[in-house]
Chains A and B, each alone.
Chain A
Amino acid sequence: DVKVTQSSRYLVKRTGEKVFLECVQDMDHENMFWYRQDPGLGLRLIYFSYDVKMKEKGDIPEGYSVSREKKERFSLILESASTNQTSMYLCASSSRLAGGRGTQYFGPGTRLTVL
């Protein structure tokens, strides 16, 4: 079974803090993704990566950065957290087979609250 894990289920941070959200997958997947989920808006793609040290912006990258130093790990960074970044953050991974359109597998999510 594919396993995608996220470092925290719940996180509370203060405005202006630097926040790291970590995601690890154990299936040797090339592709990794970060989404945020907000009520009424569904899931929106923040950043994705198709290889180590490679990153591409998704639909809402502003205020975020990412790091992928190892194939199995993809980190989302909030340089200076703001209250409008309070959200559920979900990480996913998929195989590069099928031209980047393989099944995406999701982690359990991190519910971040910024005070």
Chain B
Amino acid sequence: GIQVEQSPPDLILQEGANSTLRCNFSDSVNNLQWFHQNPWGQLINLFYIPSGTKQNGRLSATTVATERYSLLYISSSQTTDSGVYFCAPFAGTGTASKLTFGTGTRLQVTL
């Protein structure tokens, strides 16, 4: 099956700093989601992005499907951005299509 690699595995930022999280995947994908898991365990959708760039406030994501990677940008980080960020590409077709999760990037934003 598809392999998903996220980097860096851990990241500590001071509030206000910017960061880029990377997701590499081993095979062609139909689509991709980015999630933020907050300290209470809730997974929150950030982006649904098969290709191109999307922006939502201080966050933006870019997927280059032909080169098999996606990037998540966090600008002017805040303590509420702390948690784990997961990339999950879709692979397969029809009812066999499913998300495969990377192991995540754990972000800690400090004052």
Contacts and interface: CB of A to CB of B under 8 A. Distances in A.
Interface in A57-111: 58-59, 88, 90, 92, 98-101, 103-106, 108-109, 111
Given A50-B95, A100-B94, A100-B95, A43 B101 contact: yes
A106 B45 CA distance: 8
B42 A109 contact: yes
What's the interface size class on B, roughly?
20 to 34
Nearest to B47: A103
A48 B94 CA distance: 13
Contacts, number: 55
A1 to B, nearest CB: 11
Contact of B98 (A58, A106, A111): A58
B56 interface: no
B66 interface: no
A45 B93 contact: no
A99 B93 contact: yes
Nearest to A59: B1
Interface of A: 33, 35, 40-45, 48, 50, 56, 58-59, 88, 90, 92, 98-101, 103-106, 108-109, 111
